[in-house]
Amino acid sequence: MKKTVNICIVDDDEIYQFTTLQALKKISVEKNIMAFYDGEEAYNFLINNIDDDSKLPDIIFLDINMPIMDGFQFMEEYVKIKPKVGKKILIYMVSSSVDPADIEKAKNIADISDYIIKPVKRGELQAIFLKLQREGKI
């Protein structure tokens, strides 16, 4: 039996969420996709399900600029609870920002797997999933 991959989109842009969801649907991996409009919603979901690995995401696509709690604030809070999380969560920072300061800040956070510049193309998502499958991470 194939493992279901829990994918989490954290972004306040409804159009981005929709297009990413459509692109993810076309990737041939058994998946469960959830979406949140800000970092606080996603963080609260993690906290509320911290003891249930089957509900926690395997992969998070995290925007930087969001209301309430942005991507960097989310990462600050995630690092604090990470020791209590029973599984490895791969986090991809996704942003339209090409500001070298944002890119550098993201690259300096050990728990961020990569920085992806929007708009994300379906081929990029497919490449990420193929690489993760080859490496046995999903």
DSSP-assigned beta bridge partners for residue 63: 94
Distance CA 70, CA 39 (A): 6
- pLDDT (tens, 9 = 90+) of the chain, 138 residues, equals 458 899 999 999 999 899 888 888 888 888 999 999 999 999 999 999 999 999 999 999 999 999 999 999 999 999 999 999 989 999 999 998 888 998 999 999 999 999 999 888 778 888 898 888 888 888
All domains in the chain, ordered by first residue: 5-134 (3.40.50.2300)
CB burial of residue 65 (10 Å; 0-12, 13-18, 19+) = middle
Dump pLDDT digits (tens) for 70-108: 999 999 999 999 999 989 999 999 998 888 998 999 999
Tokens 């499958």, residue located: 133
Confidence (pLDDT) at 29: 83
